Amino acid sequence: METLEKNKGLKVFILEDDIPNQERIAKDFQGMDYSISFFSKNESVFDLLKFYPDILIKDYKKNTILKYEEWPAY
């Protein structure tokens, strides 16, 4: 896990392995109030939820975003 900014706004977890893509994404989020962390696409989305991200982006290019608080807890 690589974190760009600590203790800022919403925690955003992004599944992205490619370093140039990570750099482009970081630039897209520059100046916004987010704490960005990158994870390998091999990571389990469900394992990442234990860290309580505010936003989980599993495919940045396709803009597929999951918000864990919308999922029912059983």
**Interval 59-68 mean pLDDT:** 59
Query: Which residues are CB-neighbours of 74 under 8 A, at least 6 positions away?
Result: none
- Cβ atoms of residues 49 and 13 within 8 Å: no
Q: How confident is the model at residue 57 (pLDDT cuts 50, 70, 90)?
A: confident
**Interval 51-73 mean pLDDT:** 67
More confident residue, 28 or 4: 28
